[in-house]
């Protein structure tokens, strides 16, 4: 019998999944898009995550399965080309998240130790960390879990210390007025900012995969989702307040990829910069570790449900073959795409997936004993957010939109071709 997961562990799975590399990777981007309204942008995205978590709570209790989101989609839509396409998108969205984390690692690491002193450093560090995490995943899943549990504590201690010192340092800081409403972007732009950084919240869905092992599931599944999301929303909002109140906008723009470390400088000097950089490296490394494991599990589950070729259930060096595929695809994306394009593609992917999970929550509301209006609201909001994000970004980040739409199209096309091929083999 597998060991039961306690409530505190379930909460830390949610927090660890969200406060992975997300905040370190997208904070600068958020400020660039939302200016003084950045705390609001994080609030918008957090509210959407919270509404969606209601569907996750109800579905996790009714259909507790290690397949998590994959199981819910198949439950709601049957095993069709559509459900297969959405599940493929989930796997690809994991790969996009991994690229985002690796990009953050590649941006922070050269500040501690520069190898070539140029652009090449980013590629060396980002690629090396993916390779290292893959080796650890092959070596032992137990080590992955151990790294994750220690990393959650380390990054939270450092981030909460940053907040405490930061809030104290805000008193009398001239940049504090950057938070006033005249420095906010227009409401639609704020909403877009929130949606581009939605990837910073997607990690709560990892709780679904551990639902079958959570003790006292009736009480603890809802608590795990709601406590972890509300905690992270508050954490992000305060981090955004401290960052925007500490540094002038032009400085945030210059240090966009490692802004959290830069924000620690006015209060703690070079030491603060170094400590936050180390926290970013630990966080992104642990997030890469956990997401590699999650991504390979997703591809395995999809293949088991016959929505990807059965070869994906094969083992290679003692792990599902999806692990190697996930690592190779992550290396490719990280070294070819810009951070904003990666973030946009990731957010679009997860918004679309969450829209579908909300739809399943609405459709199965009788079985799950849900209040119908909440999943329906989640479905409408996630769908609207996807459309607004694509439309707004098309003006400023055409590449990101093209990448996002191409990825979605490819996920469905591959599923259609696979189903067609299977049909011709077994008429």
Going from N- to C-terminal start, the domains of the chain cover: 7-425
Q: List, as own/partner pairs, every contact residues 296-299 make where C-beta atoms lie below 8 angstroms and the sequence separation is at least 24, other chains included.
A: 296/137, 296/320, 296/322, 296/323, 296/326, 297/66, 297/209, 297/322, 298/69, 298/70, 298/87, 298/90, 298/91, 298/94, 298/322, 299/91, 299/325, 299/326
What's the confidence (pLDDT) of residue 141? 67
Which backbone phi and psi does 184 adopt, to 5 degrees? -80, 150
Domain 7-425 in this protein, CATH class:
mainly alpha
| Residue pLDDT tens, the chain, 427 long | 457 888 888 888 888 888 867 788 788 888 888 888 999 999 999 999 999 999 999 999 999 888 889 999 999 998 889 999 999 999 999 898 889 889 989 988 998 888 888 889 999 999 999 999 888 888 776 777 777 778 888 888 888 888 888 888 777 777 777 878 887 888 888 888 888 888 889 889 888 988 888 889 999 999 999 999 999 999 999 999 988 888 888 888 888 778 888 888 877 888 888 988 888 898 888 888 878 887 888 888 888 888 877 777 777 666 777 788 889 999 998 998 887 788 888 889 999 999 999 999 999 999 999 999 999 999 999 999 899 888 888 888 888 899 899 999 999 999 999 888 888 877 6
For the segment 236-247, what is each residue's pLDDT rounded down to a tens digit? 999 999 888 888
Residues of 258-287 as b/e, b for ≥16 C-beta within 10 angstroms? bbbbbbbbbbbeeebbbbbbbbbbbbbbbb
Q: Where are the beta strands (DSSP E) in 298-361?
A: 315-316, 319-320
What's the confidence (pLDDT) of residue 2? 53
């Amino acid at each position: 019998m597998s060991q039961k997961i306690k409530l505190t562990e379930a909460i830390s799975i949610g927090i660890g999944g969200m406060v992975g590399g997300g905040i370190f990777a997208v904070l600068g981007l958020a400020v660039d898009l939302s200016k003084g309204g950045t705390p609001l942008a994080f609030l918008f995205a957090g509210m959407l995550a919270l509404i969606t978590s209601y569907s996750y709570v109800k579905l996790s209790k009714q259909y507790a399965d290690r397949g998590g989101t994959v199981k819910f989609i198949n439950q709601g839509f049957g095993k069709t080309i559509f459900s297969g396409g959405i599940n493929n998108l989930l796997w690809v969205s994991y790969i996009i998240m991994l690229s985002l984390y690796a990009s953050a690692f590649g941006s922070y690491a050269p500040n501690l130790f520069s190898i070539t002193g140029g652009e090449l450093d980013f590629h060396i560090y980002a690629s090396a960390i993916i390779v290292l995490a893959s080796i650890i995943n092959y070596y032992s899943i137990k080590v992955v879990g151990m790294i994750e549990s220690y990393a959650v504590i380390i990054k939270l201690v450092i981030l909460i210390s940053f907040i405490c010192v930061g809030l104290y340092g805000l008193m009398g800081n001239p940049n504090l007025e950057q938070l006033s409403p005249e420095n906010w972007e227009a409401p639609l732009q704020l909403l877009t900012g929130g949606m581009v950084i939605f990837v910073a919240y997607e990690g709560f869905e990892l709780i679904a995969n551990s639902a079958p092992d959570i003790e006292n599931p009736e009480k603890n599944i809802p608590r795990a989702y709601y406590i972890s999301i509300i905690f992270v929303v508050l954490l992000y909002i305060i981090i955004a307040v401290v960052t925007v109140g500490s540094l002038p906008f032009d400085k945030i723009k210059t240090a966009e990829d490692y802004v959290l470390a830069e924000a620690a400088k006015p209060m703690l000097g070079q030491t603060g910069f170094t400590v936050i950089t180390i926290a970013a490296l630990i966080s992104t490394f642990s997030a890469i570790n956990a997401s590699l494991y999650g991504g390979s599990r997703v591809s395995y589950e999809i293949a088991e449900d016959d929505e990807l070729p059965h070869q994906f259930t094969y083992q290679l060096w003692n792990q599902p073959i999806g692990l190697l595929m996930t690592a190779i695809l992550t290396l490719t994306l990280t070294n070819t795409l810009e951070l904003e394009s990666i973030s946009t593609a990731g957010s679009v992917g997860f918004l679309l997936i969450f829209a579908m999970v909300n739809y399943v929550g609405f459709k199965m509301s009788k079985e799950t004993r849900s209040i119908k209006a909440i999943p329906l609201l989640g479905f409408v909001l996630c769908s609207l957010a996807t459309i607004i994000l694509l439309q707004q970004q098309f003006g400023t980040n055409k590449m990101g939109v093209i990448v996002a739409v191409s990825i979605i199209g490819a996920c469905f096309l591959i599923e259609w071709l696979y189903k067609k091929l299977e049909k011709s083999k077994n008429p």
